[in-house]
């Protein structure tokens, strides 16, 4: 299938996709800050450059977009054009995620993955509930936590 937009337009569209400071990430950051948590952003000293690092709690949070990280939910659909390219790209992202989690655990840090579907779409949970669960995890001693859409957890 031929792309419906010109290469220049596609390039501009792709350049507008952010890897940092995404809307879901900003929602989490603002909500946790309002609850008294202090953090470091995108610390490149840690594997995977976690979105939020909580040194006091020795915990990190990754906020994953369902498309870019290949989450099995209603927000993910493999594009119908250049399927091989996209499958390889998403598989690589997933492998990088797995490696980062292993390295974070090996370094003695706790981790949480918050999926985009937890914040938007038909399975989104109320933001206050998601932030309450995240806050509870940070205060706990649990090693890992995953926050999905309302049907997932």
One pLDDT digit (tens) per residue for the chain, 153 residues: 566 767 777 566 655 565 677 899 999 999 999 999 999 999 999 999 999 999 999 999 999 999 999 999 999 999 888 899 999 999 999 999 999 999 999 999 999 999 999 999 888 999 999 999 999 999 999 999 999 876 555
**According to the model, what pLDDT value does residue 62 have?**
97
The domain spans of the chain are 18-147
DSSP 8-class letter at 75:
T
**According to the model, what pLDDT value does residue 144 have?**
97
Task: Measure CA 83 to chain center.
Answer: 23
CA distance 91 to 123: 24
DSSP 8-class letter at 124:
P
Identify the three-state secondary structure at position 21: coil
Helix (H) or strand (E) holding 30: helix 23-34
Q: Considering the domain 18-147, what is its CATH architecture?
A: 3-Layer(aba) Sandwich (3.40)
């Amino acid at each position: 299938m031929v792309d419906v937009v010109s290469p220049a337009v596609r390039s501009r569209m792709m350049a507008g996709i952010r890897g940092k400071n995404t809307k879901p990430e900003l929602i989490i950051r603002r909500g946790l800050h309002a609850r008294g948590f202090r953090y470091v952003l995108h610390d490149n000293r840690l594997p995977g450059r976690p979105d939020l690092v909580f040194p006091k709690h020795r915990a990190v949070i990754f906020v994953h977009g369902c498309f870019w990280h290949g989450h099995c939910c209603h927000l993910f659909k493999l594009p119908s054009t250049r399927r091989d390219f996209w499958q390889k790209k998403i598989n690589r992202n997933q492998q990088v995620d797995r490696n980062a989690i292993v390295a974070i655990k090996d370094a003695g840090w706790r981790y949480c993955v918050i999926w985009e579907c937890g914040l938007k779409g038909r399975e989104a949970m109320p933001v206050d509930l998601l932030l309450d669960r995240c806050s509870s995890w940070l205060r706990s001693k649990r090693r890992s936590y995953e926050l999905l859409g309302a049907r997932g957890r």
